[in-house]
């Protein structure tokens, strides 16, 4: 949502002040980096979720492991 607002602001500035090409280019590159970071974070979170319960030596889910170790303390 914030990214969309930023894109609209940049588009508005570009329409009103066409001479600021370098500034707009810098802002656009920054927005693309933010978007790339958000996508990369989402991909790594999904991979962590998918692989978290399938890693070798992790036969139980976190909830099962926590309940099993609660009685050992």
pTM of the model: 0.46
Q: For residues 44 and 27, what is the distance between their CA atoms, to the nearest angstrom? A: 26
**Burial call 25-60: b when 16+ CB within 10 Å, e when fewer:** eebeeeeeeeeeeeeeeeeeeeeeeeeeeeeeeeee
Q: How does pLDDT run across 22-46, given as a tens digit for each residue?
A: 777 777 888 888 889 999 999 988 8
Q: 32, 46 in Cβ contact below 8 A?
A: no
Q: 31, 5 in Cβ contact below 8 A?
A: no
């Amino acid at each position: 949502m914030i990214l969309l607002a930023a894109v609209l602001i940049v588009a508005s500035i570009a329409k009103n002040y066409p001479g600021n090409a370098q500034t707009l280019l810098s802002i656009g590159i920054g927005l693309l980096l933010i978007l790339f970071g958000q996508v990369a974070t989402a991909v790594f979170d999904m991979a962590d979720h998918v692989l978290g319960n399938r890693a070798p030596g992790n036969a139980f889910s976190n909830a099962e492991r926590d309940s099993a170790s609660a009685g050992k303390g």
